[in-house]
């Protein structure tokens, strides 16, 4: 048996208007290269950094949300290394005294409670980005370009203790962390835009022999699925090495999503490789207790608090509450639909299936969808009144989203009202029985599943509009008469 030990280092981009230490625009994802830079963020001689106050506020919000102790006095340091996308030759970070320490995040996985401790949260700035031509990496590239727009973009780094014991647990932790950052409105959580990135450290212990493997870092993972896949791959690679009586190298690797494997980047740096020293151009950061308490008091409802409230207030299952409660906008929409319709469980079912499918397929956020709670109210009324079947309701839903029309409008326009006319349904069933006496006899000889043939015949002739309950009752009665 092998025990897996995983610790995460997560970089979250703070959603500030300007960068961490200068007035350049911080949201640079769609900008032309090198158009959001200045002497400060590109480290020109004589340029001095000035700390963005909102960065501090957002970092404290994260610290409170993740149950950390906040250091009222923290400081900034220089992390020295040379990369072409870091023109200063160092990164401003908080190494010796971070803004927050000793927090945790709790969640439930497969019915078990889990607590992952957070060692520290510190403020730092991002580096720029290399763009390699004709290759995924510098190796084999015909040339490389540098975009410095991300230099100075504000980040918090959230470092966990090695408390995570499986790749799946790492993914679930990351998802909850993303949901929490979004709930407190400090980070978009958009991994595809680089707003949330993860470095994962993994090692394996043979529980029988007590042999522990070297620790491997998988760097810059930018998708929840890849977090799990990369760690699964790495765990299997390490176990294979241990079973062969060897060990993997202590190194930094990266996830190659094309080959679905990790590949070596470089040997693992040690902390002393970075020659940390105090940042001479920024004074220590001193916070007041009143400031921290104000942030704590104004913190919005967190995802796990919301899940518990939805369960208690609306009586929906925990699974439904966890799906709906993970996103503030979807949760608010559910609550409004529940209020308007008085049917929280029906609202939950329809939002989790039909609505979320439309959101994913059309790529439209929920607050821009052309349907609202009133559409659900009319839909539920049509179902309750037996004017449409559940099948027709599901056919109507994408039309509602496409046109913005209410379901009663669409039923009228398209003649989709459910048929409950017993006389008409009886006539169709009798015709089907006359045309297939063999199936009738099979039913009467005990082959009861033949009934589906006659139900299907009615549905085919009425183009799915016949009331299923009425059809089933009539088919059974006539076959058994």
| Residues 248-272: tens digit of each pLDDT | 988 888 888 778 888 887 666 666 7
How far does the chain reach from its first CA to its final CA, in angstroms?
64
Query: Does domain 422-480 sit in CATH 3.90.105.10?
Result: no
Mean of all residue pLDDT scores within the chain: 92
Report DSSP letters for 441-458, one per residue.
HHHHTT-GGGHHHHHHHH
Q: What is the reported pLDDT for 400?
A: 95
Cβ pair 396, 410 in contact under 8 A: yes
Q: What is the reported pLDDT for 141?
A: 79
**Whole-number Å distance between alpha carbons of 356 and 428:** 38
Report strand pairing: 216-221 vs 251-256.
parallel
Indicate the domain borders of the chain: 2-291, 316-414, 422-480
Closest by Cα among 114, 117, 143 to 131: 143
Tell me which of 411 and 291 has the higher pLDDT: 291
Tell me which of 444 and 97 has the higher pLDDT: 97
Report pLDDT digits (tens) over 135-157.
766 777 788 899 999 999 999 99
Report pLDDT digits (tens) over 278-299.
999 999 999 999 999 999 999 9
pLDDT confidence band for 14 (50 / 70 / 90) = very high
Q: What is the reported pLDDT for 270?
A: 67
| pLDDT, average across residues 220-225 | 86
Question: 110-119, 214-223, 296-305, 414-423: which range is least confident on average?
Answer: 414-423
Tell me which of 114 and 388 has the higher pLDDT: 114
pLDDT at 231 over 70: yes
How many other CB atoms are found less than 10 A from the CB of residue 92? Answer: 21
Please state the pTM of the whole predicted model: 0.83
Report pLDDT digits (tens) over 164-184.
999 999 999 999 999 999 999
Report pLDDT digits (tens) over 336-378.
999 999 999 999 999 999 999 999 999 888 989 999 999 999 9
| pLDDT, average across residues 222-238 | 92
How many other CB atoms are found less than 10 A from the CB of residue 406? Answer: 19
Q: What is the reported pLDDT for 84?
A: 87
> What is the rounded (10 degree) CA torsion for 431, 432, 435, 441?
-120
| pLDDT, average across residues 455-462 | 89
Cβ pair 285, 253 in contact under 8 A: no
Report pLDDT digits (tens) over 73-102.
999 999 998 888 999 999 999 999 999 999
pLDDT at 435 over 80: yes
Q: What is the reported pLDDT for 269?
A: 63
Cβ pair 369, 401 in contact under 8 A: yes
6 CB burial (10 A radius; 0-12, 13-18, 19+): buried
pLDDT at 412 over 90: no
The percentage of residues in the chain with a pLDDT greater than 70, rounded to a whole number, is 98
pLDDT at 416 over 80: no
- 251-257's contacts with Cβ under 8 Å and 24+ in sequence apart are 251/216, 251/217, 252/216, 252/217, 252/218, 252/219, 253/216, 253/217, 253/218, 253/219, 254/218, 254/219, 254/220, 255/218, 255/221, 255/226, 255/229, 255/230, 256/136, 257/223, 257/226
Q: What is the reported pLDDT for 268?
A: 62
| pLDDT, average across residues 312-334 | 94
The percentage of residues in the chain with a pLDDT greater than 90, rounded to a whole number, is 71
Q: What is the reported pLDDT for 149?
A: 97
């Amino acid at each position: 048996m092998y025990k897996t030990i995983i610790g995460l280092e997560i970089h979250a981009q703070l959603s500030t208007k300007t960068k961490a230490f200068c007035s350049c625009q911080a949201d640079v994802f769609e900008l032309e290269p090198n158009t959001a830079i200045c002497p400060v963020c590109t480290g020109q001689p004589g340029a001095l950094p000035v700390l963005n106050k909102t960065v501090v506020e957002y970092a404290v919000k994260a610290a409170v949300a993740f149950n950390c102790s906040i250091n009222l006095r923290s400081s900034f340091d220089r992390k020295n290394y040379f990369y072409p996308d870091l023109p200063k030759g160092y990164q401003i970070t908080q190494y010796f005294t971070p803004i927050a320490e000793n927090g945790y995040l709790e969640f439930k996985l497969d019915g078990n409670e889990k607590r992952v401790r957070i060692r520290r949260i510190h403020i730092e700035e991002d580096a720029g980005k290399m763009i390699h031509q004709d290759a995924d990496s510098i190796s084999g590239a015909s040339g490389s370009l540098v975009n410095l727009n991300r230099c100075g973009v504000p980040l918090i780094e959230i470092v966990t203790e090695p408390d995570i014991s499986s790749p799946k647990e790492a993914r679930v932790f990351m998802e909850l962390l993303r949901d929490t950052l979004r709930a407190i409105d400090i980070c978009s959580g958009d991994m595809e835009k680089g707003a949330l990135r993860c470095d994962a450290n993994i090692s394996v212990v043979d529980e029988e022999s007590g042999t522990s493997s070297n620790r491997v870092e998988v760097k810059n993972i930018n998708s929840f699925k890849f977090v799990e896949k990369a760690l699964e791959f790495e765990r299997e690679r390490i176990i294979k090495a241990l079973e062969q009586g060897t060990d993997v190298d202590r190194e930094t690797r990266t996830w190659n999503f094309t080959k679905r494997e990790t590949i070596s980047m470089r040997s693992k740096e040690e902390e002393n490789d970075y020659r940390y020293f105090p940042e001479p151009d920024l004074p220590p950061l001193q916070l007041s207790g009143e400031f921290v308490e104000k942030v704590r008091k104004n913190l919005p409802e967190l995802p796990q608090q919301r899940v518990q409230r939805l369960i208690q207030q609306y009586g929906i299952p925990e699974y439904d509450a966890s799906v709906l409660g993970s996103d503030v906008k979807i949760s608010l929409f559910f609550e409004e639909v529940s209020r308007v319709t008085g049917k929280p469980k029906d609202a939950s079912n329809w939002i989790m299936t039909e609505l979320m499918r439309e959101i994913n397929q059309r790529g439209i956020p929920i607050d821009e969808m052309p349907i609202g709670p009133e559409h659900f109210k009319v839909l539920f009324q049509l179902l309750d009144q037996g004017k449409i079947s559940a099948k027709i309701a599901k056919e109507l839903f994408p039309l509602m989203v496409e046109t913005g029309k209410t379901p009663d409008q669409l039923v009228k326009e398209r003649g989709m009202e459910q048929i409950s006319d017993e006389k008409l349904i009886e006539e169709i069933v009798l015709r089907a029985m006359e045309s297939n006496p063999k199936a009738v006899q099979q039913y009467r000889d005990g082959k009861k599943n033949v009934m589906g043939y006659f139900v299907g015949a009615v549905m085919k002739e009425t183009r799915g509009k016949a009331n299923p309950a009425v059809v089933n009752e009539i088919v059974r009665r006539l076959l058994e008469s």
